Every structure is written in structure tokens, then in C-alpha cells.
Amino acid sequence: MSKTVLVPIADGVEEIETVSVIDVLRRAGAVVTVASVGDGLQIKASRGVNLVADQHIRDCANQTYDLIAIPGGMPGAENLRDSPELTDLLKKQKQEQRYHAAICAAPAVVFQAHGLISGKATCHPNFANQLPNQDDINSRVVIDGMCVTSRGPGTALEFALKLVEILYGQHKMEEVADPMLAKL
């Protein structure tokens, strides 16, 4: 059964984190919607790569997703944090006990700013002091209930594969990871 995933993007998001999540989840069979929180569908990522969204975030407002996955990068995480439409979607996601995930700066800049972290989490070391619970700050991927967080570009593939495992199970995760030569 296909799972639905929303990956919001904004100017300044981190390329590796964004594309890894989109690519790996699509390999698993997820229906991934890439939504821009900016004025247009095309954004310029943190290292100058242009990414094109499938639709605008306002067109996602009445949709339900199995997972919303937030890339990091600066100022991308700030741009995502400042989107009222995305904030509403994220709060609804948490309230309905659906998966929400963030990597790099996004756990601190987006999730913490909107009260979406209630327990353990990790993020990029430059933002770790913003998280109230420091117990798992050095972990590569942290799962706390329906909230999944990760550290940065170097953990992006592991993060994406963990999202596959959460949505589809270990067998599907291994099925996706093996041809990619990903070691877990």
C-alpha cells in the first residue's frame, strides 16, 4: 500500500537532505509531494542547486499525509518555520499522531520553535543547544513516538532509510537499501 509523504522546500534548504528523502521514499513506493513554501515552485537550495516543487504548500492544506519530512539547511529551515500553512500542517500532523520528521537545523529551528518536540531529539551540532533534552543529541537518528530527527547531510541517507522502515517495515527498507549499496 502506498504511503503519502509531504516534503516542503524553501529557498536555502540543504540539497542532500532534501533529495535523499524524496528519492529514497519514492524508491520505496511512497507518493511524495514536494511543496514550495515560497512564491513560486522553483527554489534555490543552500548550495545554489535549483529544485522544483510539485505544487505550492497552500495546495496541501486539506491533505492528510502519513509523514511530513522537513529538510534542514539555512536559511531554508527558517523559511520553512515561517510558513503559516506548513506550521498548520505540522501541528495537525502531531495532533493526529502521524509521523513528522526533520533533519539538520530543522528539528531545532522548525520543530522546537513550534512545540513539536516533546521528548528526545537530535539535530545539527550548531543547533543542539536549542533542544531541551540533550540525552540523544549525538545520535544519528532519533525516534521518539511519531517524531523522527537526524543530524545533517552525512546522516541523510540513513535518515531516509529509517523513514522507509517506519512506513513500510524492515524488509522494504532492506529491499531499497541493497541496490543502493547502502550499509546500515
Tell me the pLDDT tens digit for each residue of 13-34.
999 999 999 999 999 999 999 9
User: CATH number, domain at 59?
Assistant: 3.40.50.880
The tens digit of pLDDT for each residue in 155-175 reads 999 999 999 999 999 999 999
Q: List the beta strands (DSSP E) in the chain.
A: 4-9, 31-36, 42-44, 50-52, 55-56, 67-70, 99-103, 141-144, 147-150
DSSP-assigned letter for residue 39: S
Looking at the annotation, which residues are catalytic? 104
Say how many domains are in the chain.
1
Beta-strand relationship, 55-56 and 141-144: unpaired
Spatial distance between the Cα atoms of 149 and 169, rounded to a whole number of angstroms: 18
Spatial distance between the Cα atoms of 30 and 6, rounded to a whole number of angstroms: 10
Domain that holds residue 60: 4-180
Query: Which pTM does this prediction carry?
Result: 0.97
